[in-house]
């Protein structure tokens, strides 16, 4: 009995310790404020506490506090009810001087035990004259006049509203990933009402992968050049440079709708009612240049991979029968240009029948870059029995961190192939020798049982009319084959002509993929397939590489080929609508069916007029 009481006491002590360790005491506040700004510093505790000890706040004026509050929440899951309670202590502070200050942890007692909160870093920047004056006024009407003076009528200062395209690095190697972020900076006294027109950078010379960002722009406070702004992320993209040298990224352009107060002294009631109007403010980011270095001397088995990767390989089976399919799966995992990696070279035994590898890609694009895996599946069929060895497979990639080529290798694969039931070729080869064939050749031949056509002795086909007819027809056939083959060789040598002829086939193959996405209501993949089909078709039809193709060059080339201006404008509208649908859905009002029909119609017109 005493032993049971001891065990119960131990369990209660452990449970009490677990509850005590589950106490959370946190401090929260803004990351940045201006001199003279008031802000809230809050402490949250999930248990009832006492004796709150504040840290040193001498760099700030304590205006009010603490203001305490308590909140409770109940939750029922699978019939089990849980309750949580939160206690808050709120203080109102005001920044006194510029600088970056660290508020050390506060402490509080819970059941006789002292707990500390986290620390908090706050950057205090120089206050704006309008804000300082506004905070010193107590009249609501005077505050409205200050807001009116802060925003010039019909014109927004670049200090109050601008867009910035930033790269995490500007000196890279070819194929190394770069994260590009487009941010909108908005002064606190500029009320944003929405967006109108958006012109995205073309990122010529790069292979791109979009990072998903919320369609609703979320603004946070950020200090830029010593001033506090409301900052919203408009777009994130991962770039992979495909050429060397200095690559210039075009500016990002966006038209913002800004709500401005209009003060007109036209009547008595104008002093009591505010008049507003919405003005357009076009902001353009500064162009950015990236310096791309070429890769060092590439090894013979380099597959184009740039990043940091691991490499594994597996056989789906090691004991098979002849003429039975085997799959070798090679998997590359890591971070880098996964989508641009070529299948590694595999040296299979000579008697194996091999097929083109199948590539499967699973990647995720986020703030850490493009990561995931890409798998290559090699299907082959051993035709004869025996024990075979597939040599170790090397995967060579360039690591930008070390600026060196690194090699990852699999182990050799052993394959035991047994004789299959349909392995007839193997049995014939192994059961007869050359001497056997000679003996068979001297054996008795079968008597011909069908009617044989007899001819007079000494007669010959040579010199007859049929002989000369066959001779002439053979010569004509040879000449025809030679001319056709010669024409085909000349046409194949003209790469531009070959691409021109295949442009329609390739484009409609991509449109077929877009139709699949439209049927499944995958809007993002649909618009991406359509834009790739349009640019790919123009590249093949106009014999212009995709990296060198832009709107102006495409328009001028189409007009030179005799395409009317209306059709060219329709094409450019399709491209614009695609871009809006992908990156600014709120500004696009069309449907996927209209986009698909328009693309098919335009390519049909081009196919008839461009030869």
Query: Domain residues of the chain, as ranges?
Result: 2-125, 130-135+142-293, 302-418, 495-609
Residue 182 confidence (pLDDT):
92
Q: Which two tokens stand for residue 79?
A: 């019939």
pLDDT attached to residue 21: 59
The mean pLDDT values, 10 residues at a time, for the chain of 611 residues are: 66 52 84 82 86 86 74 68 78 85 90 88 74 37 39 65 90 93 87 81 88 85 85 91 91 86 58 70 90 91 92 92 92 93 90 89 91 94 90 94 92 91 48 39 55 68 78 89 81 54 68 84 84 82 78 84 84 83 72 85 79 64
Beta strand 319-321 pairing with 413-418: parallel
CA distance 568 to 566: 5
Give how far Cα 448 sits from Cα of 445, 451, 452, 457, 583, Å.
9, 8, 8, 20, 80
User: CB-based burial of residue 356 (10 Å sphere; 0-12 exposed, 13-18 middle, 19+ buried)?
Assistant: exposed
Please return the burial class of 88, using the count of CB atoms within 10 Å of its CB with bins 0-12, 13-18 and 19+: middle
Instruction: Assess whether the region 2-125 and the region 302-418 belong to the same CATH fold.
Output: yes
Q: What is the pLDDT of residue 404?
A: 92
> What is 2-125's CATH number?
2.60.40.10
Q: Does domain 495-609 have CATH number 3.90.550?
A: no
State residue 360's pLDDT score: 92
Which CATH code is given to the segment(s) 302-418?
Answer: 2.60.40.740
Q: What is the pLDDT of residue 544?
A: 81
Evaluate whether 596 touches 589 at the Cβ level (below 8 Å): no
Largest Cα separation within the chain, whole Å, is 132
Q: What is the pLDDT of residue 308?
A: 94
């Amino acid at each position: 009995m005493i032993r049971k009481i001891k065990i119960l006491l131990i369990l209660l002590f452990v449970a009490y310790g677990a509850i005590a360790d589950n106490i959370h005491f946190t401090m929260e506040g803004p990351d940045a404020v201006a001199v003279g700004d008031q802000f809230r510093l809050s402490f949250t505790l999930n248990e009832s506490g006492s004796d709150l000890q504040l840290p040193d706040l001498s760099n700030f004026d304590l205006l009010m506090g603490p203001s305490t509050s308590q909140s409770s929440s109940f939750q029922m899951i699978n019939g089990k009810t849980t309750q949580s309670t939160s206690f808050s202590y709120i203080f109102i502070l005001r920044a006194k001087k510029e600088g970056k200050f660290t508020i050390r942890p506060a402490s509080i007692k819970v059941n006789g035990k002292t707990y500390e909160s986290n620390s908090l870093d706050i950057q205090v920047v120089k206050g704006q004259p309008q804000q300082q004056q506004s905070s010193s006024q107590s009249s609501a009407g005077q505050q409205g006049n200050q807001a009116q003076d802060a925003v010039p009528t019909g014109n927004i200062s670049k200090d109050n509203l601008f867009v910035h395209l930033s790269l995490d690095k500007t000196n890279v190697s070819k194929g190394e990933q770069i994260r590009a972020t487009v941010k909108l900076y908005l002064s606190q006294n500029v009320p944003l009402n929405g967006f109108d027109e958006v012109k995205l950078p073309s990122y010529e010379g790069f292979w791109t992968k979009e990072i998903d960002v919320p369609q609703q722009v979320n603004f946070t406070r950020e200090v830029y050049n010593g001033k506090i702004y409301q900052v919203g992320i408009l777009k994130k993209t991962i770039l992979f440079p495909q050429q060397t040298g200095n690559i210039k990224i075009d500016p990002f352009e966006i038209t913002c709708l800004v709500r401005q107060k209009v003060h007109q002294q036209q009547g008595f009631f104008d002093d009591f009612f505010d008049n507003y109007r919405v003005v357009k403010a076009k902001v353009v980011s500064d162009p950015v240049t990236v310096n791309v270095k070429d890769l060092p001397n590439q090894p013979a088995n380099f597959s184009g991979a740039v990043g940091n990767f691991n490499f594994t390989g597996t056989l789906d089976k090691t004991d098979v029968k002849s003429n039975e399919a085997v799959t070798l799966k090679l998997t590359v995992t890591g971070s880098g240009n996964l989508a641009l990696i070529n299948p590694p070279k595999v040296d299979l035994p000579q008697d194996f029948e091999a097929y083109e590898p199948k590539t499967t890609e699973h990647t995720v694009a986020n703030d850490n870059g493009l990561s995931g895996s890409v798998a290559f599946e090699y299907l082959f069929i051993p035709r004869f029995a025996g024990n075979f060895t597939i040599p170790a497979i090397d995967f060579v990639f360039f690591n930008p961190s070390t600026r060196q080529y690194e090699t990852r290798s699999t182990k050799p694969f052993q394959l035991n192939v047994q004789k299959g039931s349909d392995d007839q070729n193997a049995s014939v080869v192994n059961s007869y020798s050359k001497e056997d064939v000679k003996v068979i050749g001297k054996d008795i031949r079968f008597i011909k049982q069908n009617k044989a056509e007899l001819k007079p002795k000494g007669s010959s086909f040579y010199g007859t009319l049929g002989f000369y007819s066959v001779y002439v027809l053979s010569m004509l056939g040879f000449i025809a084959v030679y001319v056709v083959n010669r024409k085909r060789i000349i046409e194949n040598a003209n790469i531009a002509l070959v691409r021109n002829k295949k442009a329609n086939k390739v484009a409609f193959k991509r449109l077929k993929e877009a139709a699949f996405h439209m049927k499944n209501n995958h809007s993002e993949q649909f618009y991406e397939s359509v834009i790739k089909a349009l640019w790919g078709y123009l590249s093949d039809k106009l014999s212009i590489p995709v990296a060198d193709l832009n709107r102006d060059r495409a328009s001028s080339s189409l007009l030179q080929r005799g395409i009317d201006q209306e059709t060219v404008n329709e094409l450019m509208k399709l491209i614009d609508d695609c871009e809006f649908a992908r990156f600014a859905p709120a500004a696009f009002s069309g449907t996927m069916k209209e986009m698909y029909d328009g693309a098919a119609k335009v390519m049909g017109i081009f196919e008839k007029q461009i030869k």
